[in-house]
Amino acid sequence: MEEIGVLVDGKRGEPLRRSAGALGGLEERSDWELIALAREGNPLAFTELVRRYERPVVHFCQRMVRSREDAEDIAQESFVRVHRYIDRLKPSAKFSTLLFGIARNLTLNFIRDSGRRGRGRTYSLTEEGNQERALEDESMRPDRFARLQEIEERIDDGLALLSPKHREVLVLRELQGLDYATIAKVVRCRKGTVKSRIARAREQLRRHMEDLGGQNL
Amino acid sequence: MAKHVSIETISAYIDGEAKDPRAVALHLQGCAECARLQVELSKLSTHLNALPEPEVRRDFARDVTAIVADDRAQRMRRWMPATAQIALAAALILAVGLMFALRDEPSEVPSIVAENRVAEETPGVSMEDHILNQLSQAALEDTSGTEVVLVAGLAGSGANSSGVSTDDMVAVLASTGMLNELADEWSASEDYDTALASLNQAESQKFHQLFATYSRNAVLGDYDYEMGGAIGW
């Protein structure tokens, strides 16, 4: 049996023990099935939904606002909002589209309210723990590691220089692998606009890399 | 000099979203400059994809679930009068709570999209929000040139379903920076000619006047040429 530190009657800290049978294979349920179960009061269903999307949502937020702590806060708020309006959600679109749309709006609000444009503590290979993990990879020789670190920093800086509307579409396309139609729904604009914004974002990033002498990408 | 394809086309081709990928591929085979650009953009894409994904802390999901439970409990407590918690039966407490909950809910439940839009949330729907919602809805329909037609139509007709005057609508769009943003993007969009061609001459003229008044972009010069070429003035 697996012990999970979740909730019982809204109180934190009461561990539950579950068997695979009792959960009914939540991992195999679709997103909207989990939503339906969460509506019925099943907290584990919503937890499963969070686990399913926590990484991509935090990753998106982190690439938008750069600060990892802020990214996790925003990602958390995104899930809280989903749960707050869970009774009103309709399965007329993919759940991920809805979730990224909420996260996107919250990141833009954050950027606007903080007056920042992506400045802050970044996730980097030099961060403790990340460096150790990277060096455990035998293919990551020191020189290769240093080179990748340099490229990563340049690209990260370049992303931060993009306007939020250009950064978000590039991040959704490159890091989340969303197609143009889905991105258009997330950011609420035409597909043609997504296409032109992505192209401009790439061009700006390419010029940034050139300016830094990064032609040998 | 041979004509090059736009960076927008190459970018879309890399993403598998080009309208005519065969034509693009054929061009890249014969154009060293465009082929080099495609290689550079592809390398950039590779490096972006290789950016490390941050590890999310282990108790993230648990914390979210706890916050959600607290949030729900707080909202329930706000809706229940204090005396009901002391004396009444569970059924009566629930009934009173529901009564207060329904009374506190807005009569028209805003959609998730409206609740989470970038504009500040307001209890009602302001004129600005109404106009922006109309444009956003049009954008979601993803019809080629929809925004252009909508804006031009609203500007040209002077009458619209929202009951907002044309001048008010234009002022709102100008104040939000949307006109400049749209002008900037449409000038680079391959759909631009198609969009303009869908307008009648009166709408096109009004649209042109609209941008002439409010657009700050130098692209307006290109607009004159492009519009003339597109609609055969």
- What whole-number distance in Å separates Cα of residue A178 and Cα of residue A187? 12
Single-letter amino acid, residue A109: N
pLDDT at A35: 93
Contact (CB<8Å) B48/A175: yes
Beta-carbon neighbour count of residue A201 at 10 Å?
A: 25
Chain B nearest C-alpha distance from A102 (Å): 6
Q: Do B69 and A203 touch (CB under 8 A)?
A: no
Nearest Cα residue in chain B from A175: B49
Per-residue pLDDT of chain B (233 residues; tens, 9 = 90+): 457 888 999 999 999 999 899 999 999 999 999 999 999 999 999 888 888 887 888 899 989 988 888 877 776 676 555 545 454 445 544 554 555 555 544 433 233 333 333 333 334 555 445 555 555 444 444 333 344 444 544 444 443 444 445 555 555 555 544 554 455 444 444 444 544 555 556 655 655 555 554 433 322 222 222 222 222 22
Segment A139-160 shows an average pLDDT of 78
- What per-residue confidence (pLDDT) applies to B165? 52
pLDDT score, position A77: 92
Sign of the alpha-carbon torsion through B73, B79, B82, B86: negative
Q: What percent of chain A stands above pLDDT 90?
A: 33
Does residue A67 have a pLDDT over 60?
Answer: yes
Chain B residue with the nearest C-alpha to that of A152: B51
Cβ pair B140, A182 in contact under 8 A: no
Cα A63 from Cα A159, distance rounded (Å): 8
DSSP run (H or E) holding A78: helix A68-84
Domain layout of chain B by residue ranges: 7-49, 67-105, 115-231
Would you state the pLDDT for residue B224? Answer: 29
Q: What is the token pair recorded at A29?
A: 């349920």
Select from A59, A101, A155 the Cβ nearest to the Cβ of B53: A59
Nearest to A123 by CA among A69, A177, A162, A174: A69
Q: With an 8 Å Cβ cutoff, are B64 and A193 in contact?
A: no
More confident residue, A149 or B149: A149
Residue type (1 letter), A112: R
Q: Set out the domains of chain A in order of their start, with CATH numbers.
A: 2-211 (1.10.1740.10)
Cα A153-B44-B57 angle, rounded to 5 deg: 50
CB-based contacts of A38: which residues, under 8 Å, 6+ apart?
A45, A46, A49, A83, A86
For the stretch B121-124, contacts whose Cβ atoms lie closer than 8 Å and that sit 24 or more positions apart, written own/partner, are none
* Chain B, window 129-158: residues with a beta carbon less than 8 angstroms from a chain A beta carbon: 136, 139-140, 142, 144, 146-147
Integer CA distances (angstroms), A57 to A12, A52, A71, B22, B41, in order: 24, 10, 9, 35, 25
Window 189-218 of B: residues touching A by CB (8 A cutoff) are 189-191
Does this complex have an ipTM over 0.90?
A: no
Residues forming beta bridges with residue A3, ordered by sequence position: A17
Spell out the SS3 assignment of chain A: CEEECCEECCEECCCEEECHHHHCCHHHCCHHHHHHHHHCCCHHHHHHHHHHHHHHHHHHHHHHHCCHHHHHHHHHHHHHHHHHCHHHCCCCCCHHHHHHHHHHHHHHHHHHHHCCCCCCCCCCCCCCCHHHHHHHCCCCCHHHHHHHHHHHHHHHHHHHHCCHHHHHHHHHHHCCCCCHHHHHHHHCCCHHHHHHHHHHHHHHHHHHHHHCCCCCC
Please write the tens of the pLDDT for every residue from A97-138: 889 988 988 888 888 877 644 444 444 433 444 444 444 444
Q: What would the mean pLDDT of A140-146 be, rounded to a whole number?
A: 70
Task: List CB contacts (< 8 A) between A155 and chain B.
Answer: 44, 47-48, 51
* A-B contacts (CB, under 8 Å): 172
Whole-number pLDDT of residue B123: 42
Smallest Cα distance from A153 to chain B, Å: 10
pLDDT tens readout for residues A189-217: 888 889 999 999 999 999 998 877 654 54
Q: How many CB atoms lie within 10 A of CB A30?
A: 10
Q: Which whole-number Å values give the CA distances from A154 to A139, A158, A201, in the listed order?
A: 22, 6, 15
For testing the chain A interface, which of B185, B193, B198 should be mutated: the one with the most A CBs within 10 Å? B185
